[in-house]
Amino acid sequence: MSRPYTFTAWRLILSALFIVLLSACTRKEIIEMTTSSPAGNWQKQSIRVLVNKASPTYTEIVIDSLKTQQVITGFGGCFNELGWEAMQILANKDRDAVMASLFDTLGGCRFTLCRIPIGANDYAMDWYSHNETPEDYNMHNFSIARDEQRLIPYIKMAKAVNPHLQIWASPWCPPSWMKTNNHYACASNKEFNDLPDNSQGTEMKTQFRMEDKVLKAYALYFRKFIESYARQGITISAIHPQNELNSCQVFPSCIWRPEDIARFIGAYLGPGFESAGLNTSIFMGTVERPQIERVDTILQNAAARKYIRGVGFQWAGKDAIPLVHKKYPGMLLMQTETECGDGSNDWKAARHTWNLMRHYFSNGANAYMYWNMVLDETGKSQWGWKQNSMISINRKSGKVVYNPEFYLMKHLSGYVSPGARYIPVDNENCLAFKNKGHIVLILFNSIDQEKEVTVRFNSLDYTIPLPAVSINTLIL
């Protein structure tokens, strides 16, 4: 008769059996991942990931493709005059390469939705509007001739790369004669404007001349702008009637009380678009303050609400978007201008923008806009603020630099198409989207060392290695 197994022998047998069973439910799988980091940008590589059956133990990131939320309508940036000027030092082939990097639908950022100013902003060559003839209520002297020098060629180059690019527009300031101080600026500053101190504006005090004839003329101004651009082959898909309606700036700007912008939309702008048969949408934008009651005043005005399709947010407006999303669930929401930094163009700035993206998409945003796509190496506005850009061009050497935020934008826009749906993920280092039958996963590693993350998807746990300080996009 054979001797029974000892306790030690049974333990060895069970351990071996556990290893066999574990290996039976564990495999290594090859996944394509695109990585950008200080060590190298847009590196496409095949990585070997460990795949296990989902276990009850802690998993960092859980992707539930059945819990999709808002539809994504697009990514883009803003066409500004100083961006066009920066590109003029480049040879034609190099300029074409810059535009392809932003708009090409195969190898570029695939931008599909971009912004333009109506008249001057702080990144114009100088201050202007499309009609500076005082009291020209019938807009006889309206002209976009200025835009034909820079903005329109800039847009046409982009549309030559992607003909399906959509354009939306907003003014920083109406024609100066439509304002109570007859000046582009709201705040005086002897270094940057000649506005007298006694002509400065105040937040929550409307600077627009709220007279019937002026309001009618301004609605006509918008209509003329849309029709003039249409004759150039450029469709304006949406209008936001005032950039940062609460901000008194040293550059072109105009304060509106919420009650007054609602009156303008409901009684003048909306009916004017309707009578002219324009298909251009009207958004309430751009909102740069956190006070939900200011947005409520506009959206709860029945006459204005009839015409408002969405709301645009930037800067401190990010603190208003959660409540707007909750209170107005059918409203399209747009992030309209990413925070521009201080010209550092570094990975710290990319991390800040990543956090903004997480905030906006988790609170219902359908679209995300960068600010300056292209600037020269100084990054300076016309009032001295050095700001970040996706691409920097050195005016002396002609060197083109693609900054970290260029790659951050591309990691999303290069993979997430219009029509994709956002998937909520409870992890600050992950964004996920359902895109044409697959999952686009963007993972951010902000620490200075490699790490592994575990992602649970379809009852499987994927253990994914991430390089130090990196943005990573992969398809599940």
Confidence (pLDDT) at 19: 42
d(CA 456, CA 54): 7
DSSP 424: -
Confidence (pLDDT) at 22: 43
**Residue 376: both structure tokens together:** 């020269």
Architecture label for domain 27-66+430-475: Sandwich (2.60)
d(CA 208, CA 176): 9
- Torsion, CA 190, CA 194, CA 199, CA 205, rounded to 10: -80
CATH superfamily of 74-418: Glycosidases (3.20.20.80)
Confidence (pLDDT) at 28: 87
Cβ(262)–Cβ(301) under 8 Å? yes
Closest CA to 335 of 365, 358, 310, 291: 365
**Residue 445: both structure tokens together:** 């590693």
Closest CA to 332 of 120, 118, 108, 166: 166
Which H helix or E strand runs over 301?
none
**Residue 222: both structure tokens together:** 């918008």
- How would you write 363-419 as a 3-class SS string? CCCCEEEEEECEEECCCECCCCCECCCCEEECCCCCCEEECHHHHHHHHHHCCCCCC
Sheet strands side by side (includes 374-376): 374-376, 391-393, 400-402
Q: What's at 120, amino acid-wise?
A: A
Confidence (pLDDT) at 414: 98
* pTM for the structure as a whole: 0.94
Q: What's at 222, amino acid-wise?
A: F
pLDDT of the chain along its 476 residues, tens only?
A: 445 556 555 555 445 444 444 444 578 899 999 999 999 999 999 999 999 988 777 778 999 999 999 999 999 999 999 999 999 999 999 999 999 999 999 999 999 999 999 999 999 999 999 999 999 999 999 999 999 999 999 999 999 999 999 999 999 999 999 999 999 999 999 999 999 999 999 999 999 999 999 999 999 999 999 999 999 999 999 999 999 999 999 999 999 999 999 999 999 999 999 999 999 999 999 999 999 999 999 999 999 999 999 999 999 999 999 999 999 999 999 999 999 999 999 999 999 999 999 999 999 999 999 999 999 999 999 999 999 999 999 999 999 999 999 999 999 999 999 999 999 999 999 999 999 889 999 999 999 999 999 999 999 999 999 999 999 999 99
- Prior bond to 34 cis, omega within 30? no
The per-type count for the chain, helices as H runs and strands as E runs, is: 12, 20
Confidence (pLDDT) at 11: 55
* Structure-token match 């969405």, residue found: 310
* Structure-token match 């693609």, residue found: 402
d(CA 383, CA 17): 72
Parts of the chain belonging to CATH 2.60.40.1180 = 27-66+430-475
d(CA 291, CA 43): 42
**Residue 249: both structure tokens together:** 């700036």
Confidence (pLDDT) at 6: 61
In 232-285, which ranges are continuous DSSP H helix? 258-264, 270-276
* Structure-token match 């645009």, residue found: 312
Cβ(170)–Cβ(117) under 8 Å? yes
Maximum CA pair distance of the chain? Answer: 115
Cα separations (Å) of 116 from 14, 121, 163, 226? 69, 10, 17, 12
Cβ(201)–Cβ(255) under 8 Å? yes
**Residue 375: both structure tokens together:** 């600037």
Parts of the chain belonging to CATH 3.20.20.80 = 74-418
